[in-house]
């Protein structure tokens, strides 16, 4: 029996390797090695052996893709690294601006060409996969970017997702991002079967993929024949990264992860636009849905230098295809009041189905947009889902305009608080002058204050905030820190347990960071990234509050307009009083060193050639810590060029411009490294 079992164990290993190899050639390389009937025969043989020796079954066996019982719910999973959003462009001008910004941030000359990786933007559901020692151990939806839902058992049912990585030279931990989709033929098949059974059909393949991933029974997911394309790394341990994104994709493919065959590396932004046009001509012939293409800076060191803004990388752009359009009628135009008092006209529409969703509202951005497009109540309009997300009115069908319509006028008084509406000549936005006396502004301000990027006070949702303001319990964000359980429980449909949770979250929020405090104040034009830059630059709130426009403009990403808003905010007496109340309530943050105090503040370094004692990334990190800036190109503003072995053309340019050259020994002295 022992010999027989040992023999079967060897056969199991052989069968698993064969089946995994055949799957790799079939799904990843699109080069089937054997007929389906042979694959099925080997699969059944493996099933038969494992049924007789169940103790030899492992989670990575091809037979275990659908082995789990239906789940009761989906637990939450924290991604190792956040799954960020991507900025969009809808025309060539937006793409050219993207390229221009990259050149500016990398300090490249106008003629220098960036190398980009171009790929189709799959219209599916984003997932995050984690492999530990080569074995798939975690799979999650994107969720809010930080936390997603655990869908491991369902992802295991997708044949093109390897349960074990190929080869032996892979990292101890690999986090990889992919897009799960449903091919057209499978989408048609699923809807046909649903129709026969009298079930509701899916609207489009994207909805079908997302819905299939969230089935509680993995067998249902398996029956939907989903596929995946992997497109990026999240985290990596115990492995040396290559220098480019295109090499990363090759690496993923070698490990058995499926990568789109349409991906192409181009030189310069014109190559990106040409790629967009090419894919647009092939779009209808592709076996899956795409809604645009994605451009990524290929050089990983350049990606790191470009960094991120808010929740999006600066080195990636999605160039979207024109969205679907439809006709509908404007039923009314109302004005909403935002956190900073801005009035936004919103068109209430006769519901219409556009791009896979029913649309009944569309933003008109500002009153000048309403006048420019001449949108009136009763008009028939062309509606579009810009980027397949934000509904907008494209234009009015004038020959269908009913009689007795009239131009939309800007309200003289705020529709919420009755305060005067003001509009300066140099701004398109109109604002309510009521400030935080306007309950609409107060509510939006509090929602911003408690949001994830600010104080992250869980439990204080929109409904609770609305009730607190309407009941006149909270008149400013500082009032949150004097809330009592009695006040919370007195609210309609508010229990004691949830009230306790809210109070605990408020107490916990008192320990924060300077960057989060600055962002939470809601200063106009100051987002999360700008707040972070301000905190790093000044290191102290009082120093920021006293800064002049000139001093503020020295901060990265802060121009004259933003600097003016910051100075204006801190010159308002009521804002200073609010800050004092917040500090007195017990809010605090760890002290941090100002960039101004750092030894190499403002110094610009350029690296060329290979270093012996430190990697390029280590050098860059150390220089950043000391307040220096790193550039990829030499210019008159460069202070030092670090010269290693086999330097490139940057050395010649540095000599031509008279920039000071330093070798690795001098660099280590500057960094105080013996």
Question: Are 40 and 63 in contact, with CB atoms under 8 Å apart?
Answer: no
Write down the catalytic residue from 121, 320, 620, 629: 121
User: Helix 36-52 vs helix 2-23: angle between axes, to the nearest 10 degrees?
Assistant: 150
Alpha-carbon distance of 229 to 290, in angstroms, equals 12
| 220 CB-near residues (< 8 Å, 6+ apart) | 212
Question: Are 175 and 236 in contact, with CB atoms under 8 Å apart?
Answer: yes
Mean pLDDT, rounded, for 395-399: 86
Mean pLDDT, rounded, for 499-528: 92
Whether 94 has a pLDDT exceeding 50, the answer reads yes
pLDDT band at residue 27 using 50, 70 and 90 as cut-offs: low
Residue 445: per-residue pLDDT? 92
Residue 66: per-residue pLDDT? 56
Question: Are 339 and 312 in contact, with CB atoms under 8 Å apart?
Answer: no
Q: Strand, helix or coil at 611?
A: coil
Q: pLDDT, tens digit, for every residue of 504-514?
A: 999 999 999 99
Q: pLDDT, tens digit, for every residue of 240-298?
A: 899 999 999 999 999 999 999 999 999 999 999 999 999 998 888 899 999 899 999 99
Q: Which fold has domain 435-508?
A: DNA polymerase; domain 1 (1.10.150)
Alpha-carbon distance of 352 to 394, in angstroms, equals 14
Residue with tokens 């529409």: 349
Residue 271: per-residue pLDDT? 96
Q: What is the mean pLDDT of the chain?
A: 87
Task: Identify the burial level of 574 via C-beta atoms within 10 angstroms of its C-beta, where 0-12 means exposed, 13-18 middle and 19 or more buried.
Answer: exposed
Domains 435-508 and 514-596 share a fold: yes
Whether 492 has a pLDDT exceeding 70, the answer reads yes
Instruction: Of 231, 279, 121, 124, give the one whose Cα is nearest residue 187.
Output: 124
Mean pLDDT, rounded, for 363-377: 92
Alpha-carbon distance of 623 to 322, in angstroms, equals 44
Question: Are 172 and 97 in contact, with CB atoms under 8 Å apart?
Answer: no
558: number of Cβ within 10 Å: 22
| CATH superfamily, domain at 94-320 | DNA ligase/mRNA capping enzyme (3.30.470.30)
Q: pLDDT, tens digit, for every residue of 32-47?
A: 676 666 777 787 888 8
Mean pLDDT, rounded, for 209-225: 88
Q: Which residue has the higher pLDDT, 321 or 325?
A: 321
Instruction: Provide the β-strand partners of residue 172.
Output: none
Q: Which fold has domain 325-400?
A: OB fold (Dihydrolipoamide Acetyltransferase, E2P) (2.40.50)
Whether 70 has a pLDDT exceeding 70, the answer reads no
pTM above 0.85, yes or no: no
129: number of Cβ within 10 Å: 22
CATH of 599-670, one of 3.40.50.920, 3.40.50.20, 3.40.1190.20, 3.40.50.10190: 3.40.50.10190
Count each helix (H run) and each strand (E run) in the chain, helices first: 24, 24
Lowest-pLDDT range of 199-208, 265-274, 366-375: 199-208
Q: Strand, helix or coil at 127?
A: strand
Percent of the chain topping pLDDT 70:
95
Q: Strand, helix or coil at 585?
A: coil
Alpha-carbon distance of 187 to 196, in angstroms, equals 14
Alpha-carbon distance of 474 to 243, in angstroms, equals 53
Spell out the CATH class of 514-596: mainly alpha
Whether 522 has a pLDDT exceeding 70, the answer reads yes
Q: How far is CA 531 from CA 306, 424, 520, 534, in A?
A: 17, 26, 9, 5
Token pair, residue 162, equals 């390897």
672: number of Cβ within 10 Å: 9
Q: Which residue has the higher pLDDT, 144 or 75?
A: 75
Where do the domains of the chain lie? Answer: 2-64, 94-320, 325-400, 435-508, 514-596, 599-670
Residue 473: per-residue pLDDT? 92
Alpha-carbon distance of 51 to 610, in angstroms, equals 56
Q: Provide the edge-to-edge strand list for the sheet that holds 629-631.
A: 629-631, 604-608, 640-643, 660-662
Residue 384: per-residue pLDDT? 80
Cα 624 from chain centre: 24
Token pair, residue 271, equals 């190559």
Catalytic site includes residue 511 = no
| 358 CB-near residues (< 8 Å, 6+ apart) | 351, 352
Percent of the chain topping pLDDT 90:
42
Q: pLDDT, tens digit, for every residue of 640-657?
A: 999 988 788 788 889 989
DSSP 28: I
Residue 570: per-residue pLDDT? 92
CATH number listed for the domain at residues 2-64: 1.10.287.610
Question: Are 328 and 357 in contact, with CB atoms under 8 Å apart?
Answer: no
Alpha-carbon distance of 272 to 275, in angstroms, equals 5
Token pair, residue 623, equals 């220089």
Residue 1: per-residue pLDDT? 43
Angle formed at CA 489 by CA 485 and CA 495, multiple of 5 degrees: 110
Residue 205: per-residue pLDDT? 87
């Amino acid at each position: 029996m022992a010999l027989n079992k040992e023999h079967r164990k060897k056969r199991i290993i052989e069968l698993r390797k064969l089946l995994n190899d055949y799957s790799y050639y079939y799904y990843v390389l699109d080069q089937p090695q054997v007929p389906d009937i042979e694959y099925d025969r080997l699969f059944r043989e493996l099933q038969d052996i494992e049924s007789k020796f169940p103790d030899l079954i492992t989670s990575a066996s091809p037979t275990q893709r659908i082995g789990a019982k239906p789940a009761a719910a989906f637990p939450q999973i924290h991604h190792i690294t956040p799954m960020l959003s991507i900025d969009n462009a809808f025309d060539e001008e937006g793409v050219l601006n993207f390229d221009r910004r990259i050149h500016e941030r990398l300090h490249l000359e106008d003629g220098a060409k960036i190398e980009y990786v171009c790929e189709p933007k799959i219209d599916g559901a984003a997932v995050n996969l984690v492999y530990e020692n080569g074995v798939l151990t975690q799979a999650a939806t994107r969720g809010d970017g930080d936390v997603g839902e655990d869908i491991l058992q369902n992802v295991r049912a997708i044949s093109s997702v390897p349960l074990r990585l190929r080869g032996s030279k892979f990292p101890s931990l690999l986090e990889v991002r992919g897009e799960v989709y449903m091919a057209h033929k499978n989408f048609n098949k699923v809807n046909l079967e649903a129709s026969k059974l009298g079930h509701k059909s899916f609207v489009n393949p994207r909805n079908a993929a997302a819905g299939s991933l969230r089935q509680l029974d993995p067998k249902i997911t398996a029956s939907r024949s989903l596929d995946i394309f992997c497109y990026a790394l999240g985290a990596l341990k115990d492995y040396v990264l290559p220098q480019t994104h295109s090499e990363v994709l090759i690496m993923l493919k070698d490990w058995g992860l499926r990568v789109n065959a349409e991906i192409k590396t181009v030189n310069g932004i014109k190559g990106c636009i040409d790629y967009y046009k090419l894919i647009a001509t092939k779009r209808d012939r592709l076996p899956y849905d795409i809604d645009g293409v994605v451009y990524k800076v290929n050089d990983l060191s350049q990606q790191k230098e470009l960094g991120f803004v808010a929740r999006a990388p600066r080195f990636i752009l999605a160039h979207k295809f024109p969205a679907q359009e439809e006709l509908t009628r404007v039923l009314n135009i109302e004005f909403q009041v935002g956190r900073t008092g801005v009035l936004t006209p919103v068109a209430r529409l006769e519901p219409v189905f556009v791009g896979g969703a029913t649309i009944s509202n569309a933003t008109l951005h500002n009153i000048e947009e309403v006048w420019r497009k001449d949108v009136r109540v009763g008009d028939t309009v062309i509606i579009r889902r810009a980027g397949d997300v934000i509904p907008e009115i494209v234009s009015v069908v004038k020959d269908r305009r009913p009689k007795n319509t009239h131009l939309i006028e800007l309200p003289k008084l705020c529709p919420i608080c009755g305060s005067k509406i003001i509009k300066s000549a140099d701004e398109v936005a109109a604002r309510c002058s009521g400030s935080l006396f306007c309950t609409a502004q107060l509510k939006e301000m509090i929602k911003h204050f408690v949001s994830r990027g600010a104080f992250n006070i869980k439990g204080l949702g929109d409904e609770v905030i609305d009730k607190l303001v309407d009941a006149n319990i909270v008149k400013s964000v500082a009032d949150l820190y004097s809330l009592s359980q009695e006040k919370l429980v007195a609210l309609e449909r508010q229990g004691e347990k949830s009230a306790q949770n809210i109070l605990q979250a408020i107490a916990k929020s008192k320990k924060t960071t300077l960057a989060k405090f600055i962002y939470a104040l809601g200063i106009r034009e100051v987002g999360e990234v700008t707040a972070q830059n301000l905190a790093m630059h000044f290191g102290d709130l009082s120093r920021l509050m006293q800064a002049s426009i000139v001093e503020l403009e020295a901060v990265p990403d802060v121009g004259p307009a933003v600097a003016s808003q910051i100075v204006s905010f801190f010159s308002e007496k009521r804002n200073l009083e609010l800050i004092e109340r917040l500090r007195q309530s017990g809010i605090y943050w760890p002290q941090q060193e100002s960039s101004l105090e750092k030894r190499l503040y403002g110094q610009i370094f350029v690296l060329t050639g290979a270093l012996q004692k430190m990697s390029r990334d280590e050098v860059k990190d150390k220089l950043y810590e000391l307040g220096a800036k790193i550039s990829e190109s030499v210019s008159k503003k460069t202070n030092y060029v670090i010269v290693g072995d086999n330097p490139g053309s940057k050395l010649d340019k540095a000599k031509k411009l008279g920039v000071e050259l330093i070798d690795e020994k001098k660099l280590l002295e500057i960094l105080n490294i013996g």
